[in-house]
Amino acid sequence: MLIAIAGKGGVGKTTLTAALTRLLQSWGAKNFCVVDADPVGVLGRLLGAENRPSVAQMADQFEKMGAAFYDGLLVPLPEGGHLLRMGYPRNAGCFCRVNGLTKLVIAYVRDRFPIVLMDNEAGLEHVTRGTSEGVDRLILVADESRAAMEVARETLETARAVGQLRGQAYLAVRGGSAAKRGAIACAAEEMGLPNPHWLPNDERIAEAQMTGEPLPAFSEEIALYRAVSELAKTSILLR
């Protein structure tokens, strides 16, 4: 199952991906992969993963290494699962080669792992590039802004138009204060988006991000983690 997390920049996609990873780890899951498909992503830092070369950094070794190329990119996470980073080329030019290799590597991990979480780059890039082809679950992340909701709508419509989405889409809204939830839910309905799930801001998560520490282990005492657990269970995302 490929679960892609997409949306506007800065709305909390990476935090949600890391929180879902912590949830899987709390269930005792070991055989899954998390893909940091944001070229300059920080998912590894949030999960306390060691630094390994990215797809972009290893691109020139692809022809020489063969099958070993794929396994050399996988970083074991301390509490279970593996991490894969896309990265970016450190030279002028387009992402064409790196994107093509990333598609190959994602196809490889989809065959190897029953669950693959993919933290998309902001906007529509991975949808239009075809990197997230055949998404089983698309989680659209937004904050309370109209702009974020519009990006979510465009992402969903584009994924459907180009045949990227073969499963269900969900909407997760960060913040969603009680006074605004009604208006946000109405806006989602008007835009043809799914009913929103609410992701509360959490001081413990914010503190870890500010200090650069890995996110804490899953605990029901953490408001964001409780919401993510509910999202996963009620939406049948992971089980």
pLDDT of residue 93: 64
pLDDT of residue 82: 96
Residue 111's domain comprises 2-234
127, pLDDT greater than 90: no
Strand partners, 140: 6, 171
Name the residue with higher pLDDT: 164 or 33.
Answer: 33
pLDDT of residue 67: 78
Domain presence at residue 122: yes
CATH value at residue 104:
3.40.50.300
Task: Compute the distance between CA of residue 211 and CA of residue 117 in angstroms, rounded to an integer.
Answer: 25
What is the rounded average pLDDT of the residues 156-174? 93
**What's the gap between Cα 40 and its chain centre?**
13
What is the rounded average pLDDT of the residues 59-87? 89
Task: Compute the distance between CA of residue 95 and CA of residue 70 in angstroms, rounded to an integer.
Answer: 19
pLDDT of residue 136: 93
- How many domains is the chain built from? 1
pLDDT of residue 66: 79
What is the rounded average pLDDT of the residues 11-34? 95
Highest mean pLDDT among 62-66, 70-74, 188-192: 188-192
What is the rounded average pLDDT of the residues 170-196? 92
Residue 230: Cβ within 10 Å count: 12
237, pLDDT greater than 90: no
Name the residue with higher pLDDT: 142 or 175.
Answer: 142
Domain presence at residue 24: yes
pTM of the model: 0.94
Domain presence at residue 239: no
Domain presence at residue 40: yes
Residues with Cβ < 8 Å from 215, sequence gap 6 or more? 15, 18, 19, 22, 46, 47, 205, 208, 209
**156: closest CA among 145, 144, 142?**
142
